[in-house]
Amino acid sequence: MTTLGAVLAGGRSSRFGSDKALAMLEGRTLLEHALAALRPHCDAVIIVGRADIVDWPRPDMGPLGGIAGALRHAADHAFDQLLTAPVDCVHLPDDLRALLEPAPAFLEMQPVIGLWPVAALPELQAMLEDGSDLAVKAFARRIGARAVQSDFVPPNINRAADLDRLAGS
């Protein structure tokens, strides 16, 4: 199974007050941290929600738009599955793939951290075109994904104060 990793970096960062992906932590951007955290678990890693790979079908669809854009890219490049993480997830558990395999599965505490089969793309596209429920957990239910429990508590950086707390810990 080939796995594409995708950092979801297309949000508006409205609560954060500036582009969260470019915020600095320990001398690196949150985007750089997220890429470094995801790389060991994947055959290749992309950034979604930026110029090269955009959310589908359009921006402002939330994380599902990013996941759909990434799944489309994965399908076009013959990947079997997609591992996603948000741009503010600067750490991931060392055993992430072991926790989530086989796909589909997601971390119960942070459903955006998930392993999604590329074959689920048509279901996600139908869901986004319908537009009735754009929650990641709704997509997960629709494709029968497992909610995986873990001791890992992902960082959740929504405001600048959250970043300050993380930097101070």
Question: Is the Cβ–Cβ distance between 105 and 141 less than 8 Å?
Answer: no
Q: Which domains can be identified in the chain, with CATH numbers?
A: 3-163 (3.90.550.10)
Six token digits for residue 24:
């600095």
Alpha carbon distance, N-terminus to C-terminus of the chain: 37
Whole-structure pTM value: 0.94
Strand pairing of 3-8 and 44-48?
A: parallel
- Rounded to whole angstroms, the Cα distance separating 18 from 15 reads 8
- Residues 87-113, mean pLDDT to the nearest whole number: 95
135 φ/ψ angles, rounded to the nearest 5 degrees? -85, 140
Question: Is the Cβ–Cβ distance between 112 and 85 less than 8 Å?
Answer: yes
- Residues 54-81, mean pLDDT to the nearest whole number: 95
- Rounded to whole angstroms, the Cα distance separating 15 from 4 reads 29
User: Given pLDDT bands bounded at 50, 70 and 90, which one contains residue 60?
Assistant: confident
E strand or H helix at 5, and its extent? strand 3-8
What does the pLDDT look like over 98-108, one tens digit per residue? 999 999 999 99
User: Given pLDDT bands bounded at 50, 70 and 90, which one contains residue 17?
Assistant: low
